[in-house]
């Protein structure tokens, strides 16, 4: 009896864990999920459902599931709602998830190809867990986090219970067929430097991972955006340049749900992919090009500019594009209450009106510390009063006597089309 138990334990362990050529793939969370699922669906008492989820799934979480819950802000309610609302979906995908080990060899082979192309590859652990429809794959530090409810679906998966906005992913991306490519893409992300939150850097960050994973494996991208982009390049580049410095449009290009005018999600992947492909193709030393792309410093604007400009994807250099954008930016043309730079401002509660060169959107505002920091920033009332034409905004500040003040009207102020205000520094000193 003891031997039978030992054999059963070993079979379970092998099916849930793989380490080939130092590559770890762990999927014990999947088994724990289904143990919890089977208890939850037979229980109508919601308190007991939450108890089963906690005891059988959350409390037994691998480091990967813990990371997935953290980075996607999953709550117990998210899991319980997903389980209760989609019984046909879960029944249809169960077999694929429990047989996740079937895709291990292809994943391991593709990661080995990545290591051959990039010998400096640092090891990462791949975790297959079950989430609640917020990601098919993401990372946290050196952990690759796979959402199996998305990434292991195929043509047999029943999706009609899912929200309409979520269904195209299952239809267009062939998730299970492309699982090894997804893991390679996410593996590249674990090697990259910190992302900078601007549209071009975000597109490059994703484009590097997509291009490198496709190049080293010899596979085509699973994202429809790549081929669509190549077929509609001029139209897409024109729209991208228009949106490049408009912070409100980032999610029209990445991680969105077809909200852009072209009705194709993730076109930013194409922008980044095309830049990387052109850079790679024009490089004499291909191995050096791969290393350069993976190790790109997104904080180094000069380095980013050199790579982008070298590809000649855009009709002008990034510097020229930015100069064109600056010409479109609204500016602060006047302030009331005192003259900017004055050394004789009266202390006390003071009303300040900022007047702009053209109407803004009447919603977005931003006031921040100046270069001297928080100590020199006055107390500013949170209330903002816009003029009827949206060409001015009024707020109050509380000023102490005999003190130097400084604060910044930031580019969070913007026009209706998203074009941001040129930042404007206000500094002055109060009288005694």
Give pLDDT tens digits for 309-339.
999 999 999 999 999 999 999 999 999 989 9
The reply to whether 42 and 137 lie within a common domain is: yes
Q: Are 37 and 165 found together in one domain?
A: yes
**Whether residues 349 and 383 fall in one domain:** yes
Question: Do residues 185 and 207 share a domain?
Answer: no
Q: Are residues 95 and 117 in the same domain?
A: yes
Residues with Cβ within 8 Å of residue 299, at least 6 apart in sequence: 193, 194, 196
Q: Which domain holds residue 64?
A: 25-189
- pLDDT score recorded for residue 41: 97
Instruction: Tell me what the pLDDT averaged over the chain comes to.
Output: 92
- Contact in structure between 165 and 265 (CB atoms under 8 Å): no
Chain centroid to Cα 366, Å, comes to 23
**Taking the model in full, what pTM does it have?**
0.84
Q: Are residues 364 and 404 in the same domain?
A: yes
Contact indicator for 262, 236 with CB cutoff of 8 Å: yes
Query: In this structure, what CATH number is given to the domain that contains residue 407?
Result: 2.60.40.1220
Question: Does residue 14 form part of some domain?
Answer: no
> What integer pLDDT is reported at residue 10 of this predicted model?
43
Residue at a domain's end among 139, 165, 189: 189
Confidence (pLDDT) at 12? 44
Residue 196 C-alpha from the chain's centroid = 11
Residue 12 lies in a domain: no
Instruction: Answer yes or no: do 303 and 254 share one domain.
Output: yes
Could you tell me the two tokens for 241? Answer: 């340049």
- Distance (Å, rounded) from C-alpha 179 to C-alpha 188? 14
Are both 176 and 213 inside the same structural domain?
Answer: no
What pLDDT shows up at residue 259?
A: 61
Indicate whether 410 and 262 sit together in one domain.
Answer: no
Question: Tokens 């500013």 map to which residue?
Answer: 380
* pLDDT mean by block of 10 residues, the chain; 432 residues: 44 45 88 98 97 98 98 98 98 98 97 98 98 96 98 97 93 95 98 92 96 98 94 94 77 70 84 98 97 97 94 96 93 94 95 97 95 96 96 96 97 91 96 92
Q: Of 232, 293, 299, 298, which is closest to residue 260 (Cα–Cα)?
A: 232
Task: Flag whether 7 is in a domain.
Answer: no
Q: Does residue 5 lie in a domain region?
A: no
- Answer with the one of 293, 327, 361 that is the final residue of a domain: 327
- Cα dist from 68 to 45, 246, 272, whole Å: 27, 30, 25
Calpha distance 179→107 (Å, rounded): 8
Given the structure tokens 């990661």, which residue do they identify?
111
Look at phi and psi of residue 274 and say left if phi exceeds 0, alpha if psi is from -120 to 50, else beta. alpha
- Count of structural domains, the chain: 3
* Helix/strand/coil (H/E/C) assignment for every residue in 240-301: HHHHCCCHHHHHHCCCCCCCCCCCCCCHHHHHHHHHHHHHHHHCCCHHHHHHHHHCCCCCCH
Do 196 and 185 lie in one domain? The reply is no
Could you give the CA distance from residue 185 to residue 258 in angstroms, rounded to a whole number? 22
């Amino acid at each position: 009896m003891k031997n039978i138990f030992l054999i059963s334990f070993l079979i379970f362990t092998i099916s849930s864990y793989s380490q080939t050529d130092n590559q770890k793939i762990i999927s014990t969370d999947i088994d724990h999920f289904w143990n919890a699922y089977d208890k939850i669906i037979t229980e109508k008492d919601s308190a007991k459902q939450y108890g089963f989820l906690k005891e059988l799934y959350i409390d037994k979480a691998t480091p990967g599931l813990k990371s997935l819950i953290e980075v996607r802000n999953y709550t117990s309610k998210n899991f319980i709602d997903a389980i209760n609302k989609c019984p046909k979906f879960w029944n249809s995908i169960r077999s694929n998830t429990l047989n996740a080990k079937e895709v291990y060899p292809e994943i391991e082979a593709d990661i080995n190809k990545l290591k051959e192309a990039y010998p400096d590859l640092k090891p990462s652990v791949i975790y297959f867990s079950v989430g609640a429809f917020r990601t098919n794959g993401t990372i946290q530090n050196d952990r690759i986090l796979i959402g199996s409810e998305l990434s292991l679906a195929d043509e047999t998966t029943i999706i009609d219970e899912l929200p309409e906005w979520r269904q195209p992913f299952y239809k267009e991306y062939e998730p299970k067929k492309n699982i090894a490519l997804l893991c390679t893409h996410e593996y590249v992300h674990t090697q990259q430097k910190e992302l900078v939150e601007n549209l071009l850097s975000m597109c490059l960050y994703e484009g590097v991972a997509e291009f490198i994973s496709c190049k080293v494996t010899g596979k085509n991208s699973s994202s429809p955006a790549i081929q669509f982009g190549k077929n509609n390049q001029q139209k897409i580049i024109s729209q991208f340049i228009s949106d490049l410095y408009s912070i409100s449009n980032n999610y029209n290009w990445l991680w969105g749900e077809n909200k852009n005018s072209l009705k194709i999600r993730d076109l930013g992947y194409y922008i980044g992919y095309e830049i990387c492909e052109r850079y790679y193709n024009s490089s004499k030393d291909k191995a050096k090009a791969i290393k350069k792309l993976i190790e790109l410093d997104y904080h180094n604007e000069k380095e980013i500019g050199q790579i982008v400009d070298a590809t000649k994807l855009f009709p002008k250099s990034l510097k020229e594009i930015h100069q064109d954008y600056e010409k479109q930016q609204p500016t602060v043309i006047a302030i009331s209450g005192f003259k900017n730079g004055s050394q004789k401002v009266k202390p006390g509660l003071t009303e300040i009106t900022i007047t702009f060169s053209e109407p803004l959107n009447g919603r977005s505002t931003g006031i921040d510390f100046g270069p001297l920091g928080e100590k020199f920033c006055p107390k500013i009332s949170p209330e903002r009063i816009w003029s009827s034409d949206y060409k001015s905004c009024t707020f109050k500040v509380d000023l102490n006597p005999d003190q130097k003040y400084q604060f910044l009207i930031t580019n969070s102020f913007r026009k209706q089309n998203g074009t941001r205000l040129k930042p404007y520094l206000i500094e002055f000193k109060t009288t005694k």
